[in-house]
């Protein structure tokens, strides 16, 4: 949902020396590993029509300044929390794992034939494409339209199927013969390609061309941009420190600068209601320590919270750039949680965009893990533990155990085997004999867009099973997730490591799943998912091979959008 993308920075090769010997166990040297993870077939349950991932807008240009400017403009002007915006490389184009989750493709400049064929195939099969200063229409072999307003053409896609397209001039330039905007429509699949020769330059240099760019995307391709209401909603407000008076007092007394906490480009200023409270801004947030927020029930949260540490000191933020900058740039108490209601610049793995729509239950959590503890010797398992806590936070509540909410390796949460509900990012630092692990999580609780949400899953379950499960509340779900994370964390640290592995395997989507592996010579070999190893890496038993292949989730590609992964290997 949030291109809820995963970050994996807890390398077992760095943090757990015992894993180094694994390189000798495997003889397959793989170039690409593709594993169909997006859909689980269940003959006992009907499938749903829920959207599986957030829609993406992809940008292809070989000219880096133009590519970066296009991406920055889109991120600045698109409707908030509706799309994720990514650059697209030539290698990713040829991999063809990106079309299914793509709302629109923007292409700049001239293209080589092999790429043009893939883009044409995307358009012919229902895709939306905008060519900016590109000969994209000519690449579809539409011919010269000149002064003709509308012509019909017949094209063939990469599978050899014929398509009828309509080519139409929808806007002209300064002279009657100079075409400025051409539309190409596939009449059956509803694919639409727009070609414009407007020069795309930085926003401040040519606002008129920017407005044309936005108009074409919105009116011709259906992409939604910010409104005045969206700007009004992006107002920063005071944050709130939640916890017992003793816990808050201890935390504040330990600050190196009295009443101030500086984290990256953000300063948190702790205030009481009797203080002169400064204005809130992107870089400076007052934090009220002696009054509750109006839009977060501390009583309801505390009624459901059963932990000793996790969530007992919570920073609630109505709006922040990213809650991860708080936990990632300071050593805070073990179990400290930052809960943002909205984020203006949430980031995921490889600094990908993290969507933060209304109705998303998000939090950033800091855990302190001694390196000589059971979990400290298996630090990469932290991400699996937290992802499992999210699933159990939903399913372990009375009556909710049969909801089809499961884990997609390594740490995404899916409904009905196909619709992404949430995911996590993880980073860590070593401090002496312990690791400080920072985890960011997002779960779409109650917003049906851009994908689906937990409460939609509950509603569908009620209709199919004739049940009356209640929709989950915001504070209730967060507290229950914290309960489950701490419960599993403590069991593992007491030496019951097998509890984590057993639960993860019980709730994941991939038991016995067939996969395809491509070796360095480009040959495909088949295999079967055999589980995860001690550090959470995926084990694949290749047909005819002895030892299983071990892969880890580092090196995300666009195959993730289609339910595929291309990780690196141990």
- 432 and 449 together in one domain: yes
Which residue, among 85, 155, 150, has the nearest Cα to 121 in the 3D structure?
Answer: 155
Three-state DSSP class for 23? Answer: helix
* Same domain, residue pair 486 and 388: yes
Task: Work out the pLDDT band at 233, boundaries 50, 70, 90.
Answer: low
pLDDT of 167 > 80? The answer is yes
Q: Return the sign of the alpha-carbon dihedral for residues 387, 311, 350, 76.
A: positive
Q: How many CB atoms lie within 10 A of CB 150?
A: 11
Compute the average pLDDT of residues 84-102: 86
Q: Where are the alpha helices (DSSP H) in 140-292?
A: 207-215, 221, 228-233, 245-253
DSSP-assigned letter for residue 179: E
The domain of 178 spans 21-36+49-221
Indicate the SS3 state at residue 314: strand
- Bridge partners of 195? 131, 182
Give CA–CA dist 261/367, Å, rounded.
19
* 408 vs 417: CA distance, rounded Å: 8
Look at residue 372 and tell me if it is in a domain.
yes
pLDDT confidence of residue 526: 80
Cα–Cα distance list, 160 to 103, 114, 124, 155, 164 (Å): 24, 15, 11, 9, 13
Give the CATH number for residue 126. Answer: 3.40.50
Residues whose CB falls within 8 Å of the CB of residue 409, separated by 6 or more in sequence, listed in order: 37, 508, 509, 510, 532, 538, 553, 565
Same-domain check for residues 342 and 471: yes
- What mean pLDDT do residues 22-34 have? 31
- The more confident residue out of 192 and 151 is 192
Residue 418 belongs to a domain: yes
pLDDT at 186 over 50: yes
pLDDT tens string 441-488: 999 999 887 678 999 999 999 999 999 999 999 999 999 999 999 999
- Identify which has the larger pLDDT, 184 or 4: 184
CATH of the domain at 306: 3.30.930.10
| Residue 437 clears pLDDT 50, i.e. is over it | yes
Question: What is the SS3 assignment for 357?
Answer: coil
Q: What integer is the mean pLDDT of 84-90? A: 89
Question: Tell me: the pLDDT tens digits for 113-164?
Answer: 889 889 999 999 999 999 988 866 665 555 555 555 667 878 888 889 999 9
Task: Specify if 169 maps to a domain.
Answer: yes
502-536 pLDDT per residue, tens: 999 999 998 888 877 665 565 677 888 889 999 99
The domain boundary, picked from 168, 200, 221, lies at 221
Do residues 532 and 442 share a domain? no
**Contact assessment for residue 477 and residue 305, using Cβ atoms and an 8 Å cutoff:** no
Note the residue count of the chain: 570
Are 318 and 302 spatial neighbours (Cβ–Cβ below 8 Å)? no
Answer whether residue 310 shows pLDDT above 60: yes
CB 381 within 8 A of CB 498: no
pTM of the predicted structure, to 2 decimals: 0.73
Question: Are both 205 and 299 inside the same structural domain?
Answer: no
Tokens of 417: 């085997």
Q: Are 302 and 437 in a shared domain?
A: yes
- Give the whole-angstrom CA distance, residue 96 versus residue 289: 51
Q: For the chain, what is the domain count?
A: 3
**CB-based contact 555:31 (threshold 8 Å):** no
């Amino acid at each position: 949902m949030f291109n809820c993308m995963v970050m994996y920075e807890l390398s077992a090769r760095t943090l757990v020396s015992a894993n180094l010997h694994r390189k000798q166990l495997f003889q397959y040297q793989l170039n690409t590993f593709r594993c169909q993870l997006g859909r689980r077939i269940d003959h006992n349950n009907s499938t749903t029509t829920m959207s599986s991932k957030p829609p993406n807008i992809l940008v292809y240009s070989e000219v880096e300044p133009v590519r970066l400017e296009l991406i920055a403009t889109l991120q600045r002007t698109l409707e908030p929390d509706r799309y994720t915006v990514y650059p697209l490389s030539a290698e990713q184009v040829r991999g063809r794992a990106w079309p299914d989750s793509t709302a629109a493709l923007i292409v700049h400049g001239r293209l080589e034939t092999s790429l043009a064929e893939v883009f044409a195939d995307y358009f012919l099969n229902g895709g939306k494409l905008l060519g900016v200063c590109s000969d994209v229409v000519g690449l579809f072999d539409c011919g010269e339209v000149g002064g003709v307003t509308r012509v019909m053409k017949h094209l063939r896609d990469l599978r050899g199927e014929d398509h009828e397209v309509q080519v139409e001039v929808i806007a002209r330039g300064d002279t009657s013969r100079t075409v400025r905007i051409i539309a190409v429509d596939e009449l059956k699949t509803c694919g639409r390609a727009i070609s414009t020769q407007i020069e795309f330059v930085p926003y401040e240099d040519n606002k008129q061309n920017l407005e044309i760019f936005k108009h074409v995307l919105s009116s011709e391709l259906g992409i939604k941009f910010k409104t005045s209401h969206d700007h009004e909603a992006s107002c920063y407000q005071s944050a709130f420190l939640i916890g017992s008076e003793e816990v808050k007092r201890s935390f504040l007394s330990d600050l190196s600068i009295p009443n101030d906490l500086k984290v990256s480009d953000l300063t948190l200023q702790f205030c009481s209601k009797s203080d002169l409270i400064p204005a809130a801004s992107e870089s400076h947030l007052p934090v009220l320590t002696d009054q509750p927020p109006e839009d977060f029930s501390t009583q309801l949260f505390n009624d459901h919270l059963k932990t000793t540490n996790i969530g007992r000191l919570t920073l609630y933020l109505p709006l922040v750039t990213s809650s991860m900058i708080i936990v990632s740039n300071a050593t805070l108490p073990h179990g400290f949680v930052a809960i943002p209601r909205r984020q203006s610049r949430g980031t995921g793995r490889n600094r990908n965009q993290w969507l933060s729509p209304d109705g998303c239950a998000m939090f950033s959590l800091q855990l302190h893990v001694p390196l000589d503890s059971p979990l400290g010797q298996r630090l990469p398992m932290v991400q699996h533990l937290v992802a499992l806590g999210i699933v159990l936070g939903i399913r372990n509540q009375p009556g909710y155990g049969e909801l089809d909410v499961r884990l997609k390796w390594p740490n995404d949460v899916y409904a009905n085997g196909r619709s992404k509900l949430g995911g996590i990012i993880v980073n860590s630092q070593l401090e002496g004999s312990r690791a400080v692990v920072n985890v960011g999580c997002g779960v779409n609780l109650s917003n049906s867009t851009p994908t689906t949400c937990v409460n939609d899953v509950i509603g569908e379950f009620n209709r199919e099973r004739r049940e009356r499960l209640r929709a989950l509340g915001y504070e209730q779900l967060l507290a229950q997730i914290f309960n489950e994370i701490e419960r599993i964390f403590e069991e593992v640290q007491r030496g019951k490591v097998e509890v984590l592995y057993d639960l993860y395997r019980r709730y994941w989507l991939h038991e016995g799943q067939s996969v395809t592996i491509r070796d360095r010579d480009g040959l495909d070999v088949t295999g079967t998912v055999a589980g995860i190893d001690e550090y959470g890496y995926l084990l694949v038993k290749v047909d005819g091979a002895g030892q299983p292949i071990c892969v880890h989730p580092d090196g995300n590609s666009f195959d993730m959008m289609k339910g595929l992964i291309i990780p690196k290997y141990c």
